[in-house]
Amino acid sequence: MATTEHWKDHNYYGNWKQESIGCPECGWHGVGDACARGELFPDMFELCCPACGKSLTAVLFPTIEESRQNGDKLGETDRLAIDYIEMRRADVSACSLKNADQLPDIEEKEFSLTWSVEGSDLVEDTVISLGDRCLWREPSGYENYWRFIEIAEMLKQRYGSRVKDLVPTRESELSLYGDRLSSPQMVEVARGKLAGNQG
């Protein structure tokens, strides 16, 4: 994706729709709003030349704070979406595992645990289990590999060398890995630390 110096800081509430832009590939000229929408990323989307398809720049999605500051530009659907996101964040914060002492006692001398997800596509929970026993449940999220790493570290703190693995189920892989190509490797590193294969 090619981004010009002039456009690199344009955010969603900026004047990118009215800005004049030209394509160095085919010579097309127009305004940002006339550009084709290209690839979608978690924090931005591409603007492409409508004539030849060349990627011209990107527009950053707003943060929650920026959306609140631009409340006069929000439609009712956007306001409801922001309210839902903030409510979900509060739920996640309240229900998330914060320290190893919150984990229950386990009598087994050695054991492996399972990382799974339960719920619908819109609202999923991460479930840490020992066989049929649920040890911990908390709200899940997309590209949740970073949370896997955090919880694996707390499991190691709580159970030491007795915990040998935290095994993701196949059903959990979409929310766990997401679109980040390096996430499976990061999860495997965390699992290796539990197994004692890495420091």
pLDDT of residue 5: 40
Of 183, 113, 112, nearest to 147 by C-alpha is: 183
Q: Cβ distance 60 to 43 under 8 Å? A: yes
Q: How many Å apart are CA 157 and CA 27, to the nearest integer?
A: 60
Q: Which residues contact 67 (CB under 8 A, 6 or more apart)?
A: 74, 78, 82
Q: 19 pLDDT exceeds 60? A: yes
Q: pLDDT-derived band of residue 138, with 50, 70 and 90 as boundaries?
A: very high
Q: How many Å apart are CA 130 and CA 113, to the nearest integer?
A: 5
Burial label for 27, CB within 10 Å (0-12, 13-18, 19+), is exposed
Q: How many Å apart are CA 75 and CA 62, to the nearest integer?
A: 14
3-state secondary structure of 48: strand
pLDDT digits (tens, 9 = 90+) for 59-88: 888 777 777 777 777 777 777 777 777 777
Section 119-130 average pLDDT: 86
Please tell me the class of the 98-195 domain: alpha beta
Q: 2 pLDDT exceeds 60? A: no
Q: pLDDT-derived band of residue 6, with 50, 70 and 90 as boundaries?
A: very low
Q: How many Å apart are CA 185 and CA 148, to the nearest integer?
A: 12
Q: How many Å apart are CA 174 and CA 115, to the nearest integer?
A: 13
Section 172-195 average pLDDT: 94
Q: 173 pLDDT exceeds 90? A: yes
* Domain boundary assignment for the chain: 1-61, 63-95, 98-195
Q: pLDDT-derived band of residue 153, with 50, 70 and 90 as boundaries?
A: very high
Q: 197 pLDDT exceeds 70? A: no
pLDDT digits (tens, 9 = 90+) for 103-118: 999 999 999 999 999 9
Of 10, 15, 13, nearest to 73 by C-alpha is: 13
Q: What is the pTM of this model?
A: 0.61
pLDDT of residue 78: 73
Q: 151 pLDDT exceeds 90? A: yes
Q: Cβ distance 175 to 141 under 8 Å? A: yes
Q: pLDDT-derived band of residue 7, with 50, 70 and 90 as boundaries?
A: very low
